[in-house]
Amino acid sequence: MNINKDLTLNVASTFSESAQPSVVIRNQRMIVNAPTPGFVLINDVLLGNVNANASGTADAFSFSAQAVGVSLDLPLLQPANKLTVKGSYTGFVPPGFAPNTAYTLCITFVGPSTMNP
């Protein structure tokens, strides 16, 4: 399951993006394409009415594809519930990127899924 947010580099912003699964899914990993630490901060990961990020703000780079051994034990997500991610883009432009250009932040949730009976 994917959540995408279009950002403009060098323009700090907040976001609240949602998706609803078409199957029952047990998300076990969240992968974020944050290119560097300090790029995006994650405030909330809501599955239905459960906040999986109860400890406060997390750096999205902690959930990058390079993160080793990072897994989550998230509640079962039914098609009747939404998954919502809230956070902020800090405005940081990583080396090699141009200011004021578009960047698509991709937040991917993976885990086993099943069809509803």
Is residue 117's pLDDT more than 90? Answer: no
Q: Are 26 and 76 in contact (CB under 8 A)?
A: yes
- End-to-end CA, the chain: 20
Note the pLDDT of residue 65: 84
User: Which segment, 22-26, 60-64, 88-92, is predicted with the most confidence on average?
Assistant: 88-92
Instruction: Encode pLDDT of 71-87 as tens digits.
Output: 777 888 889 899 999 99
Hunting for tokens 């997500």 — which residue is that?
77
- The residues, ordered by sequence, that sit 6+ positions from 55 with a Cβ below 8 Å of its Cβ are none
pTM, to two decimals: 0.89
